[in-house]
């Protein structure tokens, strides 16, 4: 394939459950993918499966994130999309017990790494003059207080970064968006709930649609946002949660005193 016809994407956190699904989806959609993760064996196996390149990177180090973008431009002459997907759950428990080191580590991985990805991908896309898609894996934790304190704070910050960068980069035809997964069946959630079958039962029970969200469901949203079909979409955060967030809002509103609705309708 001529390099002028290629579309090139970088995906961080590529060896995780959602990361693997994103890489596979983008590869199926015709992207050449540079997959990055510190878990070399799993990431290399993925690249062997779908094609593309593997490059290790610690996303908390700006120069290493910049090197991923530089690799794309060096090898293929361009970068069309980046998915800043790497993350960790971070410290749990009362905020009075969380150390400064744990807080900084989580913010570095979840939020600062995305700033580096936005910054360096945008520079390359502006230089290339063909626009592009800068994407982030956010979370329902960026909408509600779900999870640990550092993670919630970082994911809320990430939604703000999406809006600010989208406004800044629109003149260059660069779109900036996020996908917010709800409770998704990944190795992490399977471990959390005591195995795959137990995790499936718990996740389905929390979803108003009565379904288990699979990594492919999240990847499908990224595939859309990376495509020309989303050429008019920027500054958005697509929530993929099988209705969980709306159900929480509804349950709160329905806890009102029965006389409340009657009083407000007069």
**Complete domains list, the chain, with CATH:** 3-264 (3.40.50.720)
Please compute Rg for the chain using Cα positions. Answer: 19
109: number of CA atoms within 13 Å, CB side? 18
80 pLDDT higher than 80: yes
**Antiparallel, parallel or unpaired: β 31-36 and 132-137:** unpaired
What is the per-residue pLDDT for 248? 67
Higher pLDDT pick, 189 / 37: 37
* Interval 207-264: pLDDT, tens: 889 899 999 999 999 999 999 999 999 999 999 998 888 776 554 444 444 443 444 4
* Interval 92-119: pLDDT, tens: 889 999 999 999 999 999 999 999 999 9
* Residue in this structure with the two tokens 């997964």, named with its chain if needed: 181
Cα–Cα nearest to 14, from 50, 30, 38: 38
260 is an active site residue: no
End-to-end CA separation in angstroms for the chain: 67
Q: Which of 116, 151, 183, 260 is catalytic?
A: 151
Cα–Cα nearest to 97, from 62, 149, 133: 149
Q: What is the mean pLDDT of residues 174-200?
A: 90
What is the per-residue pLDDT for 264? 41
What is the per-residue pLDDT for 24? 97
* Interval 22-78: pLDDT, tens: 999 999 999 999 999 999 999 999 999 999 999 999 999 999 999 999 999 999 999
User: What's the rounded Cα separation, in Å, for the pair 251 and 36?
Assistant: 40
Q: Structure pTM? A: 0.89
* Interval 145-163: pLDDT, tens: 778 899 999 999 999 999 9
């Amino acid at each position: 394939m001529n390099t002028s016809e290629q579309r090139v994407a970088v995906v961080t956190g590529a060896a995780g459950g959602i990361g693997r699904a994103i890489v596979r989806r983008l590869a199926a959609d015709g992207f050449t993918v540079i997959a990055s993760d510190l878990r070399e064996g799993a990431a290399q196996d993925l690249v062997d499966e779908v094609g593309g390149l593997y490059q290790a990177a610690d996303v908390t180090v700006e120069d290493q994130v910049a090197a991923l973008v530089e690799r794309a431009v060096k090898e293929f002459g361009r970068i069309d999309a980046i998915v800043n997907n790497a993350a960790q759950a971070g410290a749990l428990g009362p905020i009075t017990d969380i150390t400064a080191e744990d807080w900084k580590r989580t913010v570095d991985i979840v939020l600062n790494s995305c700033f580096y990805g936005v910054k360096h991908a945008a520079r390359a896309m502006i230089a290339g003059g063909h626009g592009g898609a800068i994407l982030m894996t956010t979370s329902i934790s960026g909408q509600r207080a779900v999870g640990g304190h550092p993670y919630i704070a970082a994911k809320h910050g990430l939604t703000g970064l999406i809006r600010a960068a989208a406004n800044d980069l629109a003149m260059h035809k660069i779109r900036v968006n996020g996908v917010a997964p709800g409770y998704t069946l990944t190795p992490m959630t399977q471990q959390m709930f005591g195995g795959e079958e137990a995790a499936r039962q718990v996740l389905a029970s929390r979803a108003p649609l009565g379904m288990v969200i699979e990594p492919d469901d999240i990847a499908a949203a990224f595939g859309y946002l990376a495509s020309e079909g989303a050429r008019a979409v920027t500054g958005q955060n697509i929530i993929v949660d099988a209705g969980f967030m709306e159900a929480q809002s509804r349950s709160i509103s329905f806890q009102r005193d029965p006389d409340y609705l009657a009083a407000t309708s007069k």
